[in-house]
Amino acid sequence: MRRKTEQVEGSNSKEQLLEVIQQLREQIVKEREISAQELERTITEIKTCRGIIPICSYCKVIRNNKDEWEPIEVYIAHHSDVKFTHGICPKCYSQVCKEAGLIER
């Protein structure tokens, strides 16, 4: 009789231990997911330009953290995953053509 009681208690302890292990696994998985989400959010925030950006009101260059002036394209490329391609809008095209004497003013 005593042996059966010990076996029942022993199997109960094993089941409880397995349940605790399963709960710990689930908790670790949740914490890992939360950590991964926080890391992803932090990386996104780092790659996003935030705050006040000192920009020249005339030529549009930006003063960086080293107190050096650099083109807006360079600054944004350094602080994000953005790449630039250049073109000319119709208004500027017209202005450049007028200044170059290609069309009448």
Q: What is the pLDDT along the chain (105 residues), one digit of tens a residue?
A: 455 444 445 557 888 888 989 999 999 888 888 888 888 877 776 666 567 889 999 888 999 889 999 998 888 888 877 888 889 999 999 999 999 988 876
What is the predicted pLDDT for the residue at 82?
Answer: 81
What residues have CB less than 8 Å from 49, skipping those under 6 apart? 76, 79, 80
Question: Do both 36 and 7 map to the same domain?
Answer: yes
Q: CB-based contacts of 56: which residues, under 8 Å, 6+ apart?
A: 62, 63, 69
Residue range(s) defining the domain that contains residue 97: 49-105
Same-domain pairing of 86 and 102 = yes
Are 54 and 105 contained in the same domain?
A: yes
d(CA 19, CA 47): 42
In terms of domains, do 43 and 58 share one? Answer: no
Domain identity same for 25 and 73: no
72 and 34 belong to one structural domain: no
Please indicate, yes or no, whether residues 54 and 35 belong to a single structural domain of this protein: no
- pTM beyond cutoff 0.85: no
Domain identity same for 39 and 60: no
